[in-house]
């Protein structure tokens, strides 16, 4: 079973143990402000392979390389002026920038799936201290079995992967609760590859341009490896519900009661006051809580699509997709 260390109680030992496990080429569960990551040395093939093995990921998708400072970022990626401005404005934070690989970058091709680009993020909080102590970028997808709901608490990781890894760092619940927003500059235009924990409108303000959400053929842009069915609870998922059917669990938003909810298996409200930031932070743990009741279906009431609602709706649509 994995050792769990609370980072606020034992910061020094948490860093020492993390560096020790990472140096052996093994993955650790790393708290970031978005979700808990399964992190390993991004420069070592064996370390990256062990991430895929622990997650049971069917194929090698590109992973985000996490850095502790701008100097480390610039050793591995080439920053165009727009990407640099976004990094200065939003790092450390829930933004991943896909940039051209720098000559001499030592991030392993297994972490980039052989692409000549690289996803880079500087996370906030304890993750950043771990990377600084380790001195090399960490590749980290979310710390869950492939296809399942991302973990926002150390206990989620322990339940899912506790027997497969050596160390879980516990820094409390993730403050943002949704994975990072991913953007890429192409020919001077900014493309949204994944909506996430940073509001796309904030990115547009700093970049001084609109984000492209579709390619030239009109298809939705996506980061490679984004699966239609993802974030899947055991239960079926029904979106934009206006009532609750017998035997369903209800996850609602904004304090509005739905007809039939008195008979629901459980009723959870992502944000009774209608705050999308609060809703994002609660989303994954409420999905797990509703799923744990054994309800056959989880009904979700409508979530507004502006601001962080875009990312919340993206995750819900993946959770509801046919499996
Ligand atoms: O918040 C997050 O981003 C979390 C925490 C742990 O940092 N990580 C995360 O990783 O969500 P993961 O592996 O679930 O998602 C990484 C996404 C994938 O959809 C992948 O396709 C995209 O990043 N990505 C990575 N490198 C890329 C590249 N060079 N070009 C395009 N997309 C890339
Ligand atoms: Mg994931």
User: What is the per-residue pLDDT across 184-230, written as a single tens digit (0 to 9) for each?
Assistant: 999 889 999 999 999 999 999 999 999 999 877 778 877 877 777 77
What pLDDT, on a 0 to 100 scale, did the predictor assign at position 93? 98
Query: According to the CATH classification, is domain 3-207 in 3.90.870.10?
Result: yes
pLDDT at 222: 79
Which residue of 184, 190, 225 sits with most ligand 1 atoms within 8 Å of its CB, as the best mutation to test the pocket? 225
CATH 3.40.50.11030 residue spans of the chain = 236-320
- Looking at residue 127, the DSSP 8-state letter turns out to be H
User: pTM for this one?
Assistant: 0.94
Tokens matching residue 83: 């990407």
- According to DSSP, the β-strands at 181-186 and 189-194 are antiparallel
Q: Where in the chain is the domain with CATH 3.90.870.10?
A: 3-207
Tokens 């507004």 sit on residue: 304
Helix 81-90 vs helix 200-207: crossing angle, to nearest 10: 130
Phi, psi of 271, rounded to the nearest 5 degrees = -160, 100
Rounded Cα gap, residues 255 and 273, in angstroms: 6
Here the tokens at position 156 are 């989620």
How far is residue 22's CA from residue 288's CA, in Å, rounded to a whole number? 29
Tell whether ligand 1 has an atom less than 6 A from the beta carbon of residue 151. Answer: no
Query: Which architecture characterizes domain 236-320 according to CATH?
Result: 3-Layer(aba) Sandwich (3.40)
Residue spans of the chain under pLDDT 50: none
Query: Which helix H or strand E contains 221, and what residues bound it?
Result: none
Among the residues of 178-306, which ranges form H helices?
200-207, 276-292
> Whose Cα sits closest to atom 32 in ligand 1?
223
Output the residue whose Cα is nearest ligand 1's atom 9.
Answer: 141
Q: How far is the CA of 262 from the centre of ligand 2 (A)?
A: 34
């Amino acid at each position: 079973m994995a050792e769990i260390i609370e980072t606020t109680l034992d910061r020094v030992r948490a860093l020492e143990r993390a560096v020790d496990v990472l140096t052996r080429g093994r993955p650790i569960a790393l708290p970031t402000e978005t979700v808990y990551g399964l992190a390993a040395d991004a420069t070592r093939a064996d370390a990256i392979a062990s991430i895929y093995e622990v997650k049971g990921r069917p194929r090698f998708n590109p992973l985000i390389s996490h850095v502790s400072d701008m100097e480390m970022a610039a050793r591995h990626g080439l920053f165009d002026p727009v990407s640099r401005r976004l990094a200065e404005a939003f790092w450390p934070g829930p933004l991943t920038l896909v940039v051209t690989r720098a000559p001499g970058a030592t991030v392993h091709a297994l972490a980039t799936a052989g692409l000549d680009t690289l996803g880079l993020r500087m996370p906030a909080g304890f993750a950043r201290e771990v990377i600084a102590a380790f001195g090399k970028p960490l590749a980290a997808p979310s710390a869950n079995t492939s296809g399942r709901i991302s973990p926002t608490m150390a206990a989620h990781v322990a339940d899912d992967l506790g027997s497969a890894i050596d160390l879980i760092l516990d820094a409390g619940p993730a403050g943002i609760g949704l994975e990072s927003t991913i953007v890429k500059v192409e020919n001077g235009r900014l493309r949204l590859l994944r909506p996430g924990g940073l509001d796309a409108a904030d990115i547009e303000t700093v970049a001084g341009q609109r984000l492209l959400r579709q390619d030239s053929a009109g298809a939705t842009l996506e980061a490679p490896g984004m699966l239609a069915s993802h974030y899947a609870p055991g239960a079926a998922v029904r979106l934009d519900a206006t009532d609750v059917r017998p035997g369903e669990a209800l996850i609602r938003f904004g304090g509005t009661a739905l007809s039939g909810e008195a008979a629901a298996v459980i009723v959870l409200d992502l944000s009774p006051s209608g705050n999308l930031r609060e809703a994002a932070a609660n989303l994954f743990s409420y999905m797990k809580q509703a799923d744990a009741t054994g309800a056959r279906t989880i009904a979700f009431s409508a979530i507004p699509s502006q601001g962080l609602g875009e990312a919340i709706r993206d995750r819900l649509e993946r959770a509801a997709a046919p499996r």
